[in-house]
Structure 1
Amino acid sequence: MKPTVLIQAGIVIIYGSSLDAAPHSHHAMQVIWPQKNSNCKFNGNEISELIIIDSKIEHQLQMSKGWVFLIEPKSDLGQELFRKLGGKSFKTFSSATISTIGPPTQEESLAKFLIPLFKALKLTSQSLLNNKSTVKDKRIQQILTELDLCLHGKCIKPSNWRASEVAGQLALSESRFLHLFSEELGIAWRPYLLWRRMICAIQAIINNTSATEAAHLAGFSDSSHLSRTFRNTFGMTIRQALTLFKKS
């Protein structure tokens, strides 16, 4: 079964099988949507319903088949999901359990296919189609827009994104930039950039590059460095990711 993967600004959507992640945490909010009758364990407990996990919450997941959504917290959809959590670190939604949640056919658009999920959560499909950032400061939004170029094949090497260089580009002192970025995103610049580099690596894997090439594109010294960081971020090695994203 070939996985369905969609990466766009503010969201990563994966439909796959045999997902086995060690305990990990990351910047993104996460939605797990198991396929009906699949085996799924969240933090060691069996689940059959959709679950939303807040940003930076450590969790462990094993799932035989289903969907995983990684969502930027400071986005329209991220903010909607945050409100759904009601102050909890994670929350299950049995009403969102739908029988036909396999991958869409080529004739179906992903957005249309996921409408039942959004209806069950009382969200709108527009949140998926146009998941805009909620960052208000135009200078920080400018940087995020430039980082999004990596999603469309125009990867900007992380070495060009030192805090001092970015601050100079925005006519800010380095300390002011770092404070402003953390204030707007709720995460410091360096760990956020590392998160974006991980997304860059996933995109490279999907584009059929080797682990070594993915490491180079995402600004890591070698594939071992990428794999260690990937495991800390996603709970799996880059080799596991290659198997997951390229399964046929």
Structure 2
Amino acid sequence: MHNSIERTPIRAHLTDHMVIVNAQAVETGPTRRPAAVLIWSTTDQKIAFSDPKGNLLFEGKAALVAPEVIRRLRTTDSTFFSLNFEPGNRHFLPLSRLVARQDFMPLKFDRFSELSDELQSRFELADYKGIEELSDELALTLLPRTNAKHLRDERIDLLLPLLESNQPPELNSLAQMLHLSKDRLSHLFADDIGMPLRSYVLWRRYRRALLALQSGEKIATVAHRVGFYDHAQMSRTFLTLFGYSPSILKCPKFIRISGIQSN
């Protein structure tokens, strides 16, 4: 793995359903993330994605990456931004459809270069609201003007806060609360959010753990508090979703995470 600890720490900001990453010269293990990822280099250096065996999948200055694509990321001598639009974000489904047939959609670098300095400045100032607004604008520039806005069922909006608990209600209880069958709720959730309910619960558990890891607590304590079965389950999840182990993500010299506080 590239020795990123000696470089500027990775900065990750978590909004409600998006993760914004600013980093320099990193190399991850294989990841498979349920997010539509907009990524671009801030210099002339290219970003490279490869499969778990090292075969090149994409190389370029900017791209939109489809959800659930297994890949390794490598950048050298270049700062980059990565906007991860997650299930539940209003741009997740439209962006996913946009890149559905090709996994990696090359993008023109020019459209991002002028915003890189502004984003960098807002990170320095900890202007996270400004970062979120710019990220929203960038997503809209990629989508066709004729793109129909997906209207989410209001019952799903009522459901989402309940899933933020470290021990959320079981599917059967949720279905009874909404006066739906389990099958109907499962299909409705997947259609409106873009991933199965159980997978969504695991993803949100992972996000809470991301913030909790930098609190100084032991990894086993964090795993138990946010709802993982044990340390091993959390470690496997982190390696799959982020490409790094929880022990590395505890290190503020490697990564600094800000955003919504964990429960």
Taking structure 1 as the reference length, what is the TM-score of the superposition?
0.75
TM-score, structure 2 as length reference: 0.72
Choose from 171, 182, 206 the match for 1:198: 206
d(CA) in 2 for partners of 1:175 and 1:119?
A: 36
Structure 1 unaligned residues grouped into runs of 5+: 125-132, 151-155
Distance in 2, matches of 1:164 and 1:32, equals 39
Q: How many residues align?
A: 231
d(CA) in 2 for partners of 1:225, 1:196 = 14
Give me the whole-angstrom Cα distance separating, in 1, the residues matched to 2:200 and 2:242: 14
Contact 2:63/2:106, CA 8 A, preserved across alignment: yes
Question: Compared with structure 1, are the counterparts of its residues 8 and 206 closer, same or farther at alpha carbon in structure 2 (3 Å cutoff)?
Answer: farther
2 CA distance for matches of 1:167 and 1:50?
42
SS of the aligned residue for 1:33 comes to strand
Distance 1:241 1:38, change over 3 A: farther
Q: How far 1:135 moved relative to its partner?
A: 5.4
Give me the CA root mean square deviation. Answer: 3.3
1:57 counterpart letter in structure 2? V
Distance in 2, Cα, partners of 1:8 & 1:143: 19
Match of 1:68 in 2: 82
Distance 1:88 1:79 in 2: 15
Q: Provide Cα deviations, 1:56-106, integer angstroms capped at 9, x if missing partner.
A: 222221234322222125533224534653743221213335275473354
Structure 2 CA distance for partners of 1:161 and 1:103, relative to 1, 3 Å: farther
Residue identity (%): 21
Confirm or deny that 1:28 pairs with 2:46.
Answer: no
Partner of 1:104: 121
Distance 2:30 2:195 in 1: 21
Counterpart check, 1:81 vs 2:98: no
Cα distance in structure 1, aligned partners of 2:47 and 2:249: 18
Give the secondary-structure state (helix, strand or coil) at the position aligned to 2:199: helix
Say if 1:134 and 1:40 are closer, same or farther in 2 by CA, change over 3 A: same
Aligned equivalents of 1:24, 1:225: Cα separation in 2: 16
**The one of 125, 132, 137 aligned to 2:153:** 137
Gaps of 5+ in 2: 1-7, 51-55, 144-148, 258-263
